[in-house]
Amino acid sequence: MDKETMFEYIQRLKLAVITLFKWLFCSVVCGCFIGSVGAVFHLMLGYVGSLRVEYPFLLFGLPVAGIIIVFMYNIVHEAGNRGTNLVITAIQSNDEVPGRVAPLIIVSTLLTHLCGGSAGREGAALQVGGALGNTFAKLFKFDEKDTRIMIMCGMSACFSALFGTPIASAVFSMEVISVGVMYYAALVPCVLAAFIAQGIASALGLESTHFVVDEITSFSFINGSKFIIMSVLFALVSILLCVVLHGTSKLYTDYINNPYIRIIIAGALVIAMRYIFGTTDYLGAGSDIIARSFVTSCAWYVFLLKMLFTAVTLGGGFKGGEIVPTLFVGATLGSFLAPIFGLPVGLCAACGMVSVFCGVTNCPLTSFILSIEMFGASTMKFTILCIALSYLLSGYYSLYNSQKIVYSKYKTEYINRRSH
């Protein structure tokens, strides 16, 4: 090795060490602060959820909660806020995620859950983490490239604190932005921040999301064929979920211009549907129904009703997330299909859960890691098969219409187009 080559090597090594220490510091800051915010947010969601169960009359406050949400967003000039799409766009094209988005989405999500709106929490976590990550980037005077990494770092930390799956949380933030491209420069800070955030959540008594799959069938040709057929159905339902969510939102905005009237009507519809169908199973995130779907088979209409309740809630302007409702839809669909195909209920619920998640997010790697973190490695042969097929067959539909499809799902081809 000559002197010039040695000098270049030393310079690269020096840059790598400086970069490592910079991101070590940033990931610790993000993991500690944003992880704490995410953990407290999780505790608050649990508290308001228990209040709603204890006091069922709170459901009638949903239209009032909607008015408060619209008022808050208007008063801080965030009426046109695009939710998680804003965070994705910020990483793609250097748009800013204002710090005020964090308290807004936290309060709005709490109000939605308190009064029984059908919404999740992880979508809110991505917005909170992205907004706080962007705030730290401004505080540290980072350039545009490092700001992108800080936003992803914040997303990973908050998602991990709420869901308790640090590896999937770290990968998801890098994978969801552009299909076919991974932002590996963010790998170290995202992984560290996610683990720190999950550690803080655990210290506060929060448990990781985990489901027990009691029975694993043999991975035979016949059983594999059954899972292939189910994967086609998982992909079709993924498309249906995206179409229903986007279509309902468009219907609201096309026919009701006033956001106050829009959200009041949405709240009234949720109240009406609760009494029409005679159950509270579809209010809130529905985590208890997901857990139940791993034990006993669900009716055919359960996943469809959750889809309807969520579309009416989020399309009308209430806040929260789409991810837990997506997991609900996938788990209950798989649970329903299990006895039809003569397969274990828990295993089918697990496969449905991560397959529909993959279909609506276009994140196969995250989905596979999520399956291992939530169900253990014993299910991985079945989940990877279902995830791969769902990814292929779900086309270019997505929960997030700002998501870019950089490389084709069908050919080794650069296409760089928006999702549906």
| Beta-carbon contacts of residue 168 (< 8 Å; ≥ 6 apart) | 366, 369, 370, 373
Q: 149 and 252, same structural domain?
A: no
Contacts of 120 (CB under 8 A, 6+ apart): 285, 320, 321, 322, 323, 324, 325, 326
Tell me, yes or no, whether 149 lies in a domain: yes
130 and 242 part of one domain: no
pLDDT on residue 122: 84
* Co-location of 188 and 92 in the same domain: yes
With contact defined as beta carbons under 8 Å apart, do 266 and 316 qualify?
yes
Range of the domain at 114: 3-203
Choose one of 173, 203, 233: the last residue of a domain: 203
Question: How far is residue 168's CA from residue 122's CA, in Å, rounded to a whole number?
Answer: 12
The residue-averaged pLDDT of 86-90 equals 88
- Lowest mean pLDDT segment, chosen from 356-360, 386-390, 416-420: 416-420
216 within a domain of the structure (yes/no): no
Task: Return the bridge partners of 418, or none.
Answer: 404
107 in a domain, yes or no? yes
Q: Is the pLDDT of residue 152 over 60?
A: yes
Assess if residue 20 is contained within a domain: yes
CA 245 to chain centre: 14
Q: Is 53 exposed, middle or buried (0-12, 13-18, 19+ CB in 10 A)?
A: middle
CA–CA gap between residue 106 and residue 25 (Å, rounded): 26
Predicted pLDDT of residue 5: 77
Judged against a pLDDT cut of 60, whether residue 1 lies above it is answered with no
Are residues 275 and 315 both part of a single domain? yes
Q: Do 172 and 366 form a contact (C-beta atoms < 8 A)?
A: yes
Note whether residue 162 is domain-resident.
Answer: yes
What are the distances in angstroms from CA 61 to CA 51, 56, 115, 267? 13, 10, 6, 8
Are 86 and 195 contained in the same domain? yes
Q: Examine residue 213 and state whether it is found in any structural domain, yes or no.
A: no
Task: Please give the structure tokens belonging to residue 338.
Answer: 């299990």
Query: For residue 4, what pLDDT is reported?
Result: 65
- pLDDT value at 311 more than 60: yes
pLDDT (tens digit per residue) in 31-83: 999 999 999 999 999 999 999 999 999 999 999 999 999 999 999 988 888 88
Residues 143 and 241 in one domain: no
pLDDT-derived band at 2 (thresholds 50, 70, 90) equals low
Q: How far apart are CA 207 and CA 194, in angstroms?
A: 15
Tell which of 171, 203, 235 closes a domain: 203
pLDDT tens-digit readout, 268-300: 999 999 999 999 999 999 999 999 999 999 999
- Asked if 114 and 263 sit in the same domain, the reply is no
Note whether 241 and 197 are same-domain residues. Answer: no
The reply to whether 153 and 232 lie within a common domain is no
CB 44 within 8 A of CB 209: no
Q: How many residues does the chain have?
A: 420
pLDDT of 7 strictly over 90: no
Q: Check whether residue 303 and residue 185 sit in a common domain.
A: no
DSSP per-residue codes, 134-170:
HHHHHHTT--HHHHHHHHHHHHHHHHHHHH--HHHHH
Residue 81 lies in a domain: yes
pLDDT per residue as tens digits for the range 8-30: 888 888 888 888 899 999 999 99
Helices (H), 79-140: 84-93, 101-114, 122-139
239, 197: one domain: no
Smallest CA-to-CA distance from 352 within 336, 369, 364, 372 is with: 336
Report yes or no on 210 lying in a domain: no
CATH at residue 195: 1.10.3080.10
How do residues 324-378 score in pLDDT, each as one tens digit? Answer: 999 999 999 999 999 999 999 999 999 999 999 999 999 999 999 999 999 999 9
Q: Are residues 233 and 134 part of one domain?
A: no
The domain boundary residue, chosen from 147, 174, 203: 203
Total domain count for the chain?
Answer: 2
